[in-house]
Amino acid sequence: MRAKEQERVVIIGGGPSGLTAGYQLADSAIPVTVLEKHSIVGGIARTESYKGFSFDMGGHRFFSKSKAVNDFWDKLLADRFLTRPRQSRIYYRRKFFDYPLRAMNAFRNLGIIDSSLIMFSCLRWKAFPYKEETTFEQWVTNRFGKRLFKTFFESYTEKVWGISCSELSADWAAQRIKGLSLKTAVLSALGKKDKGIKTLIESFKYPEKGPGMMWEEVASQIVSKGSDVRLDANVTRIHRTGNKITKVETVDQKSKATSVLPGTDFISSMPLSELVLKMDPPAPEHVRRAAEKLSYRDFLTVCLIVNVENLFSDNWIYIHDSNVKVGRIQNYKNWSPKMVPNQTQSSLGLEYFCNEGDSIWNMPDQDLVELAKQEMQELGLLEVEDVVDGCVFRVEKSYPVYDSTYREHVAALREFVGEFDNLQTIGRNGLHRYNNQDHAMITGFIAAENIVNGTDTDVWAVNEDKQYHEELSTAESEQASLAAAQDPELTPLHSVPRNAAKPDDRESPLTDPTKKIERVVQPAQL
């Protein structure tokens, strides 16, 4: 075992996964340096601010089926959580549909003809489904019919991903909407309940001023325990020798000063492709090619400050309308009144899904604010003159893309990074998997425990069974009325070691992360 004073863990990325790992390690007296390239922590789960208004980049509900995650949240921020009712709707054909769908609301909005055609289409595709399900379109159509796919899935999904549903992998559907079926959807919409029918969460916890409060507190705790969190630290090169990572080079985003940071262990939540492409010496050519072919989807949020006290009751609205570019609208005051400094005003976040460098991404901020104002008026949600100010926040590499070839490229990169004895990749981008905030945290728990206790638990196993996270049994729903995470899936934590044997059976931070990780001395080390 290495002497404790010689250890230095370098964590690339100050989002939920990296900061969770950093907290666990610092709490076990292992020195940690967290490198975050932005000027604030939290990654996608950060809280941006402008003129006293707070803005959540995406809408992060604090809900989890994992006791470990819930205990961690409560320990760090218990007295600053609000319990919020969930309300979201779908905007389609200039009408609002309840989400989750409710039978009478959908019937009234669609009309008897469309409703009947959707049901006939469902029955037709149940009787004669696609023989294979390799694409998102095939997967959804086989379960809900072509007409419902066209109505409630196609336009929004293609707006989010920027590619055709026939190019998007069925893995995306299997991960995000598994567990829902025509039968359960119809029975739920009709208000039928029994022990076999599950419901969706109706309320969630939320920090007073957005998710960034949690991650700022975690970063503060890491520093208070004698470790380091460096902001504006962009990792530009990762040095390797044999099967070890030896050090990383960083450039300060503001001063442009460079620095070199050695370490004994490395944890990375940066995009998997970036990690590989920044290796020195370079990764083998076939690995670099695989890295270059992985795709990501970006988005930006246009934040509007509005001179209207109450706009609408939704937390967020999905925009299924190809006539406007906005994909989703957040109403921050309905997430928390404390997101808005003046209760006579409201604030909105219009999310535009795009690719870094495209026309939307490169549009000047003021033009984006004007676009958002015009689209809100076109949707009938407010008048242009009600908007008094606005700003824009860009979030790069937000969504790992599940295209038709992503699986083989991820496999090549996973095999390569798996060769390093002192490197673990975690989080959404570190695994190129569209995980939620709590999934990211669980990978951080596991990575930290692997270092502290010398275990070899596989972080890639988190969320592999793809259970729909908002779906609760009757018994579960009674216990989870205070809970929530991101959109829309969470697997209960199961620690899955690469080898079957556990080092011992003492309690792990994966079952109680509020307890400090105790070092385990293996019999072979005595």
Predicted pLDDT of residue 518: 42
> Above pLDDT 90, what percent of the chain?
73
Is residue 444 included in any domain, yes or no? yes
- The residue-averaged pLDDT of 328-342 equals 96
Residues 357, 322 share a domain: yes
Instruction: Provide mean pLDDT across the span 306-319.
Output: 95
- For residue 53, being part of any structural domain is answered with no
Compute the Cα dihedral for 219, 224, 227, 233 and give only its sign: positive
Judged against a pLDDT cut of 70, whether residue 516 lies above it is answered with no
Structure token pair of residue 184: 């359960």
Confidence band, pLDDT 50/70/90 cuts, at residue 483: very low
Do 441 and 489 share a structural domain? yes
Cα(115)–Cα(147) distance, rounded to whole angstroms? 10
β-pair partners for 33: 10, 228
Mean pLDDT of 430-458: 95
Q: What is the structure's pLDDT at 190?
A: 52
Mean pLDDT of 430-453: 95
Q: Tell me: do 266 and 319 sit in the same domain.
A: no
User: If pLDDT is split at 50, 70 and 90, which confidence band does 200 have?
Assistant: low
Q: How far apart are CA 21 and CA 14, in angstroms?
A: 10
Query: Which of 156, 176, 199 is where one domain is finished?
Result: 199
Confidence of residue 104 (pLDDT cuts 50, 70, 90): confident
Per-residue pLDDT tens for 119-176? 999 999 999 999 999 999 999 999 989 999 999 899 899 999 999 999 999 988 876 6
Same domain membership, residue 300 and residue 283:
no
204 within a domain of the structure (yes/no): no
Q: What residues contact 131, with CB distance under 8 A and at least 6 apart?
A: none
What six digits make up the tokens of 513?
A: 């992360």
Q: Is residue 156 part of a domain?
A: yes
What is the signed CA dihedral for 9, 428, 59, 13, rounded to 10 degrees?
Answer: 30
Peptide bond into 281 cis (omega under 30): yes
Six token digits for residue 467: 């259970």
51 within some domain: no
Domain around 123: 90-199
What is the rounded CA–CA span in Å between residue 58 and residue 391? 15
Please indicate, yes or no, if residue 381 is contained in any of the structural domains.
Answer: yes
Which residues are paired to 471 by β-bridges? 200
SS3 for 22-50, per residue?
HHHHHHCCCCEEEECCCCCCCHHHCEEEE
Residue 410 and residue 506 in one domain: yes
Q: What is the pLDDT of residue 258?
A: 97
Last residue of a domain, one of 152, 179, 199: 199
pLDDT value of position 526: 24
CATH number for 392: 3.90.660.20
- pLDDT, one tens digit per residue, over 421-440 is 999 999 999 999 998 999 99
Average pLDDT of 75-99? Answer: 92
Question: Are residue 326 and residue 446 in the same domain, yes or no?
Answer: no
pTM for this entry: 0.86
Residue 4 scores a pLDDT above 60: no
Query: What's the CATH number where 65 sits?
Result: 3.50.50.60
How, if at all, do strands 81-85 and 203-207 pair?
A: antiparallel
Report the range out of 23-32, 98-107, 315-324 with the highest average pLDDT: 23-32
Asked if residue 482 has pLDDT above 60, the reply is no
**pLDDT tops 60 at residue 193:** no
Give me 297's structure tokens. Answer: 């989807």
pLDDT band for 185, please (50, 70, 90 cuts): low
- Per-residue DSSP letter, 169: B
Instruction: Give the pLDDT of residue 427.
Output: 97
Which pLDDT score, from 0 to 100, does residue 500 have? 33
pLDDT at residue 183 in the model: 55
The residue whose two tokens read 């325990």 is 225
Please tell me whether residues 14 and 37 are part of one structural domain: yes
Tell me: do 392 and 408 sit in the same domain: no
Looking at residue 248, its pLDDT comes to: 98
Amino acid occupying residue 445: F
Based on the fold, state whether residues 328 and 349 are members of the same structural domain.
yes
Residue 523 scores a pLDDT above 60? no
pLDDT tens-digit profile of 205-216? 999 999 999 999
CB burial class (10 A; 0-12, 13-18, 19+) of residue 74? Answer: middle
pLDDT band at residue 74 under the 50/70/90 scheme: very high
The pLDDT score that the predictor gives to residue 44 is 94
pLDDT band of residue 30 (cuts 50, 70, 90) is very high
Residue 355 lies in a domain: yes
pLDDT of residue 177: 66
Amino acid making up residue 35: L
Confidence at residue 272, expressed as pLDDT on a 0 to 100 scale = 98
**What's the chain's average pLDDT?**
85
The domain boundary residue, chosen from 199, 230, 256: 199
Q: Is residue 156 a contact partner of residue 89, using CB atoms and an 8 Å limit?
A: no
How far is 272 from 429, CA to CA, in rounded Å?
6
Residue at 386 is within a domain = yes
Q: Residue 100, preceding bond cis, omega within 30 degrees? A: yes
Q: Give me the percent of the chain exceeding a pLDDT of 70.
A: 82
* Same domain for 456 and 368: no
In a shared domain, residues 285 and 429: yes
201 has a pLDDT exceeding 60: yes
The whole-number pLDDT of residue 184 equals 54
How many domains does the chain contain in total? 3
| pLDDT value of residue 507 | 36
Instruction: Mention every residue, 6+ apart, whose C-beta is less than 8 A from residue 25.
Output: 9, 32, 227, 448, 451, 452
* 224 and 274 share one domain: yes
CA 77 to CA 70: how far, in whole Å? 11
- pLDDT at 505 exceeding the cut of 50: no
For residue 398, give the H/E element and its range: strand 387-400
